[in-house]
Structure 1
Amino acid sequence: MDFRLPFAAALLGLSLAGAAQAATPAEVVARHVESMKLGKLQPIMDDYSADTVVVTPQGLVADQAPARGPGIYSGQAQARRVFATLTDKDHHPGIKAMETTIEPAGPDSVILHWVQFKGQPQQVSGKDAFIVRDDKIVFQAIFVD
Protein backbone atom coordinates (compact mmCIF):
# COMPACT_ATOMS: atom_id res chain seq x y z
CA MET A 1 0.00 0.00 0.00
CA ASP A 2 1.31 3.48 -0.91
CA PHE A 3 1.18 5.78 2.14
CA ARG A 4 2.62 8.83 0.42
CA LEU A 5 -0.69 10.36 -0.70
CA PRO A 6 -2.50 10.02 2.66
CA PHE A 7 0.64 11.24 4.48
CA ALA A 8 0.89 14.29 2.20
CA ALA A 9 -2.82 15.02 2.68
CA ALA A 10 -2.41 14.78 6.47
CA LEU A 11 0.54 17.19 6.41
CA LEU A 12 -1.38 19.63 4.23
CA GLY A 13 -4.35 19.44 6.60
CA LEU A 14 -2.14 20.18 9.60
CA SER A 15 -0.53 23.16 7.92
CA LEU A 16 -3.90 24.56 6.86
CA ALA A 17 -5.32 24.08 10.36
CA GLY A 18 -2.42 26.04 11.85
CA ALA A 19 -2.78 28.79 9.27
CA ALA A 20 -6.51 29.08 9.91
CA GLN A 21 -5.99 29.75 13.63
CA ALA A 22 -3.83 32.84 13.31
CA ALA A 23 -5.84 36.00 12.68
CA THR A 24 -4.20 39.10 11.27
CA PRO A 25 -4.09 42.18 13.51
CA ALA A 26 -6.77 43.77 11.30
CA GLU A 27 -9.01 40.71 11.77
CA VAL A 28 -8.54 40.83 15.55
CA VAL A 29 -9.48 44.53 15.60
CA ALA A 30 -12.49 43.90 13.31
CA ARG A 31 -13.68 41.20 15.73
CA HIS A 32 -13.14 43.65 18.61
CA VAL A 33 -15.22 46.34 16.86
CA GLU A 34 -18.04 43.85 16.22
CA SER A 35 -18.08 42.83 19.89
CA MET A 36 -18.08 46.50 20.91
CA LYS A 37 -21.07 47.22 18.67
CA LEU A 38 -22.92 44.26 20.20
CA GLY A 39 -22.09 45.54 23.70
CA LYS A 40 -20.85 42.12 24.81
CA LEU A 41 -18.19 42.72 27.46
CA GLN A 42 -16.73 39.20 27.76
CA PRO A 43 -16.09 38.72 24.01
CA ILE A 44 -14.45 42.16 24.01
CA MET A 45 -12.15 41.16 26.86
CA ASP A 46 -11.35 37.80 25.24
CA ASP A 47 -9.43 39.72 22.55
CA TYR A 48 -7.04 41.26 25.12
CA SER A 49 -3.87 39.72 26.55
CA ALA A 50 -3.62 39.28 30.32
CA ASP A 51 -0.97 42.02 30.45
CA THR A 52 -2.62 44.43 28.00
CA VAL A 53 -2.24 48.19 28.37
CA VAL A 54 -5.06 50.55 27.34
CA VAL A 55 -4.52 54.33 27.27
CA THR A 56 -7.61 56.57 27.25
CA PRO A 57 -8.35 60.27 27.00
CA GLN A 58 -8.66 62.05 30.34
CA GLY A 59 -12.01 61.48 32.02
CA LEU A 60 -13.29 58.60 29.89
CA VAL A 61 -13.55 56.28 32.89
CA ALA A 62 -15.06 57.47 36.19
CA ASP A 63 -12.60 57.67 39.10
CA GLN A 64 -9.63 57.63 36.76
CA ALA A 65 -6.27 57.59 38.50
CA PRO A 66 -4.46 59.86 38.09
CA ALA A 67 -7.34 62.32 37.83
CA ARG A 68 -5.50 64.52 35.32
CA GLY A 69 -3.97 63.44 32.04
CA PRO A 70 -4.60 60.25 30.13
CA GLY A 71 -5.95 57.15 31.82
CA ILE A 72 -3.56 54.19 31.82
CA TYR A 73 -5.11 50.79 32.45
CA SER A 74 -2.60 47.98 32.83
CA GLY A 75 -3.77 44.37 32.83
CA GLN A 76 -7.03 42.85 31.72
CA ALA A 77 -8.86 43.60 34.98
CA GLN A 78 -8.08 47.32 34.72
CA ALA A 79 -8.79 47.39 30.96
CA ARG A 80 -12.20 45.86 31.67
CA ARG A 81 -13.14 49.16 33.39
CA VAL A 82 -12.64 50.98 30.07
CA PHE A 83 -14.89 48.63 28.13
CA ALA A 84 -17.50 48.41 30.88
CA THR A 85 -17.76 52.20 30.51
CA LEU A 86 -17.90 52.13 26.70
CA THR A 87 -20.65 49.49 26.68
CA ASP A 88 -22.79 51.10 29.41
CA LYS A 89 -26.19 52.62 28.61
CA ASP A 90 -24.76 56.14 28.25
CA HIS A 91 -21.95 55.28 25.84
CA HIS A 92 -23.16 52.25 23.88
CA PRO A 93 -25.48 54.14 21.47
CA GLY A 94 -22.42 55.95 20.06
CA ILE A 95 -20.43 52.73 19.83
CA LYS A 96 -23.34 50.93 18.16
CA ALA A 97 -23.68 53.67 15.52
CA MET A 98 -19.92 53.99 15.00
CA GLU A 99 -18.52 53.91 11.45
CA THR A 100 -15.03 52.45 11.26
CA THR A 101 -12.11 51.99 8.90
CA ILE A 102 -9.24 49.68 9.79
CA GLU A 103 -5.81 50.64 8.48
CA PRO A 104 -2.94 48.14 8.81
CA ALA A 105 0.11 50.06 10.05
CA GLY A 106 2.76 47.34 10.37
CA PRO A 107 3.16 43.62 10.96
CA ASP A 108 1.50 43.83 14.40
CA SER A 109 -0.07 47.31 14.26
CA VAL A 110 -3.46 48.66 13.23
CA ILE A 111 -5.06 52.10 13.28
CA LEU A 112 -8.81 52.18 13.73
CA HIS A 113 -10.45 55.35 12.39
CA TRP A 114 -13.91 55.88 13.86
CA VAL A 115 -16.83 58.31 13.75
CA GLN A 116 -19.84 58.25 16.05
CA PHE A 117 -23.10 59.96 15.06
CA LYS A 118 -21.70 61.06 11.69
CA GLY A 119 -23.29 64.26 10.37
CA GLN A 120 -25.17 64.94 13.60
CA PRO A 121 -24.52 67.71 16.13
CA GLN A 122 -23.08 65.20 18.63
CA GLN A 123 -20.62 63.78 16.08
CA VAL A 124 -17.31 62.67 17.58
CA SER A 125 -14.40 61.04 15.82
CA GLY A 126 -11.00 59.67 16.61
CA LYS A 127 -8.40 57.02 16.09
CA ASP A 128 -7.29 54.04 18.12
CA ALA A 129 -3.81 52.57 17.77
CA PHE A 130 -3.49 48.83 18.43
CA ILE A 131 -0.59 46.43 18.82
CA VAL A 132 -1.69 42.81 18.32
CA ARG A 133 0.46 39.77 19.05
CA ASP A 134 -0.55 36.09 19.04
CA ASP A 135 -4.21 36.98 18.29
CA LYS A 136 -4.44 39.24 21.37
CA ILE A 137 -4.49 43.01 21.76
CA VAL A 138 -1.46 43.88 23.90
CA PHE A 139 -1.74 47.67 23.60
CA GLN A 140 -4.45 50.16 22.66
CA ALA A 141 -4.39 53.94 22.76
CA ILE A 142 -7.63 55.87 22.19
CA PHE A 143 -7.38 59.34 20.64
CA VAL A 144 -10.38 61.66 20.22
CA ASP A 145 -10.10 64.28 17.45
Structure 2
Amino acid sequence: MKIVTLAAGLSLLCASAAQAADRTPEQVVKDHVASMKTANVDAVMADYAADTVVITPPGLVPSQVPATGPGVYSGIANARKVFVVLTGSGSIAGIRSMETTVEPLGGDVALLHWIQFRGTPQQVSGTDVFVVRRGKVAVQDIIVDAPAH
Protein backbone atom coordinates (compact mmCIF):
# COMPACT_ATOMS: atom_id res chain seq x y z
CA MET A 1 0.00 0.00 0.00
CA LYS A 2 2.84 2.41 0.83
CA ILE A 3 4.44 1.76 -2.56
CA VAL A 4 1.15 2.50 -4.36
CA THR A 5 0.71 5.75 -2.38
CA LEU A 6 4.31 6.76 -3.07
CA ALA A 7 3.94 5.98 -6.76
CA ALA A 8 0.71 7.99 -6.96
CA GLY A 9 2.37 10.93 -5.20
CA LEU A 10 5.37 10.83 -7.54
CA SER A 11 3.05 10.61 -10.53
CA LEU A 12 1.19 13.76 -9.41
CA LEU A 13 4.48 15.57 -8.76
CA CYS A 14 5.78 14.68 -12.21
CA ALA A 15 2.50 15.72 -13.82
CA SER A 16 2.64 19.10 -12.03
CA ALA A 17 6.24 19.63 -13.13
CA ALA A 18 5.33 18.72 -16.72
CA GLN A 19 2.38 21.13 -16.66
CA ALA A 20 4.61 23.93 -15.34
CA ALA A 21 7.14 23.25 -18.09
CA ASP A 22 4.36 23.28 -20.73
CA ARG A 23 3.20 26.82 -19.88
CA THR A 24 4.04 29.43 -22.47
CA PRO A 25 5.86 32.59 -21.42
CA GLU A 26 2.55 34.42 -21.88
CA GLN A 27 0.81 32.04 -19.45
CA VAL A 28 3.61 32.35 -16.90
CA VAL A 29 3.44 36.16 -17.01
CA LYS A 30 -0.36 36.16 -16.66
CA ASP A 31 -0.06 33.80 -13.67
CA HIS A 32 2.59 36.11 -12.21
CA VAL A 33 0.27 39.14 -12.44
CA ALA A 34 -2.60 37.22 -10.84
CA SER A 35 -0.37 36.11 -7.95
CA MET A 36 1.00 39.63 -7.49
CA LYS A 37 -2.53 41.05 -7.14
CA THR A 38 -3.27 38.58 -4.31
CA ALA A 39 -0.13 39.75 -2.46
CA ASN A 40 0.82 36.08 -1.97
CA VAL A 41 4.61 36.11 -2.17
CA ASP A 42 4.84 32.31 -2.05
CA ALA A 43 2.53 32.04 -5.08
CA VAL A 44 4.56 34.71 -6.88
CA MET A 45 7.83 32.92 -6.21
CA ALA A 46 6.45 29.57 -7.40
CA ASP A 47 6.80 30.92 -10.97
CA TYR A 48 10.53 31.70 -10.61
CA ALA A 49 13.50 29.43 -11.30
CA ALA A 50 15.91 28.77 -8.45
CA ASP A 51 18.63 30.69 -10.34
CA THR A 52 16.38 33.53 -11.50
CA VAL A 53 17.67 37.06 -11.99
CA VAL A 54 15.38 40.04 -11.35
CA ILE A 55 16.57 43.50 -12.38
CA THR A 56 14.86 46.55 -10.88
CA PRO A 57 14.99 50.31 -11.28
CA PRO A 58 17.21 52.15 -8.78
CA GLY A 59 15.74 52.39 -5.30
CA LEU A 60 12.80 50.01 -5.79
CA VAL A 61 13.99 47.88 -2.88
CA PRO A 62 14.95 50.14 0.06
CA SER A 63 17.85 47.89 1.12
CA GLN A 64 19.40 47.89 -2.37
CA VAL A 65 23.17 48.33 -2.42
CA PRO A 66 24.25 50.46 -4.15
CA ALA A 67 21.05 52.52 -4.12
CA THR A 68 21.99 54.60 -7.17
CA GLY A 69 22.05 51.96 -9.90
CA PRO A 70 19.70 49.23 -10.99
CA GLY A 71 19.06 46.46 -8.51
CA VAL A 72 20.20 43.00 -9.56
CA TYR A 73 18.73 40.17 -7.49
CA SER A 74 20.24 36.79 -8.36
CA GLY A 75 18.72 33.60 -7.03
CA ILE A 76 15.26 32.99 -5.67
CA ALA A 77 16.00 34.16 -2.11
CA ASN A 78 17.27 37.53 -3.35
CA ALA A 79 14.48 37.89 -5.92
CA ARG A 80 11.96 37.32 -3.15
CA LYS A 81 13.12 40.64 -1.58
CA VAL A 82 11.75 42.47 -4.64
CA PHE A 83 8.33 40.85 -4.41
CA VAL A 84 8.05 41.33 -0.65
CA VAL A 85 8.36 45.08 -1.37
CA LEU A 86 5.99 45.05 -4.36
CA THR A 87 3.28 43.13 -2.51
CA GLY A 88 3.78 45.00 0.77
CA SER A 89 1.53 47.67 2.22
CA GLY A 90 3.42 50.51 0.51
CA SER A 91 3.03 49.10 -3.01
CA ILE A 92 0.07 46.72 -3.14
CA ALA A 93 -2.48 49.43 -4.05
CA GLY A 94 -0.49 50.16 -7.22
CA ILE A 95 -0.18 46.47 -8.02
CA ARG A 96 -3.91 45.92 -7.55
CA SER A 97 -4.74 48.95 -9.75
CA MET A 98 -2.43 47.70 -12.46
CA GLU A 99 -3.79 47.24 -15.98
CA THR A 100 -1.67 44.84 -18.01
CA THR A 101 -1.12 43.56 -21.50
CA VAL A 102 1.15 40.61 -22.24
CA GLU A 103 2.98 40.62 -25.57
CA PRO A 104 4.57 37.28 -26.51
CA LEU A 105 7.71 37.85 -28.57
CA GLY A 106 8.25 34.23 -29.55
CA GLY A 107 10.63 31.71 -28.11
CA ASP A 108 11.04 32.17 -24.38
CA VAL A 109 10.42 35.95 -24.17
CA ALA A 110 7.30 37.95 -23.31
CA LEU A 111 6.75 41.60 -22.46
CA LEU A 112 4.40 42.79 -19.73
CA HIS A 113 3.14 46.31 -20.44
CA TRP A 114 1.59 47.80 -17.30
CA ILE A 115 0.06 50.97 -15.97
CA GLN A 116 -0.88 51.78 -12.38
CA PHE A 117 -3.34 54.43 -11.19
CA ARG A 118 -4.36 55.35 -14.76
CA GLY A 119 -5.53 58.95 -15.14
CA THR A 120 -4.38 60.10 -11.70
CA PRO A 121 -1.38 62.16 -10.58
CA GLN A 122 0.12 58.89 -9.26
CA GLN A 123 0.01 57.22 -12.69
CA VAL A 124 3.10 55.17 -13.48
CA SER A 125 3.74 52.76 -16.32
CA GLY A 126 6.39 50.49 -17.65
CA THR A 127 7.33 47.31 -19.38
CA ASP A 128 8.80 44.18 -17.84
CA VAL A 129 10.85 41.84 -19.99
CA PHE A 130 10.46 38.18 -19.04
CA VAL A 131 12.62 35.27 -20.15
CA VAL A 132 10.85 32.02 -19.31
CA ARG A 133 12.52 28.62 -19.48
CA ARG A 134 10.88 25.29 -18.63
CA GLY A 135 7.81 27.12 -17.30
CA LYS A 136 9.75 29.30 -14.82
CA VAL A 137 10.93 32.90 -14.94
CA ALA A 138 14.68 32.84 -15.60
CA VAL A 139 15.07 36.62 -15.99
CA GLN A 140 12.81 39.59 -15.34
CA ASP A 141 13.82 43.18 -16.06
CA ILE A 142 11.43 45.79 -14.60
CA ILE A 143 11.56 48.98 -16.66
CA VAL A 144 9.59 52.03 -15.48
CA ASP A 145 8.71 54.65 -18.09
CA ALA A 146 10.08 58.16 -17.59
CA PRO A 147 7.42 60.49 -16.16
CA ALA A 148 5.64 62.62 -18.77
CA HIS A 149 6.32 66.34 -18.45
Residue 33 (structure 2) pairs with residue 33 (structure 1): yes
**Unpaired segments ≥5 residues, structure 1:** 1-16
Residue 63 (structure 2) pairs with residue 63 (structure 1): yes
CA displacement at 1:63 relative to structure 2: 1.5
Residue 24 (structure 2) pairs with residue 24 (structure 1): yes
Report the equivalent of 1:5: none
CA displacement at 1:137 relative to structure 2: 0.1
Aligned residues: 128
CA displacement at 1:65 relative to structure 2: 1.4
1:21-78 deviations in Å (ceiling 9; x for gaps): 2111100000000000111100000000000000000000011012221000000000
Q: TM-score, normalised by structure 1?
A: 0.85
Amino acid at match of 1:109: V
Q: TM-score, normalised by structure 2?
A: 0.83
Amino acid at match of 1:32: H
Amino acid at match of 1:107: G
Structure (1 or 2) with the larger CA radius of gyration:
1
CA displacement at 1:106 relative to structure 2: 2.1
Amino acid at match of 1:130: F
1:72-120 deviations in Å (ceiling 9; x for gaps): 0000000000000000001000000100000001210000000000011
1:144 and 1:53 map into 2 onto residues whose CA distance is 17
Point out 4+ residue stretches in structure 1 off by more than 4 angstroms: none
2:119 and 2:52 map into 1 onto residues whose CA distance is 34
**Unpaired segments ≥5 residues, structure 2:** 1-14
Report matched runs for 1:95-110 at 5 Å. 95-110=95-110
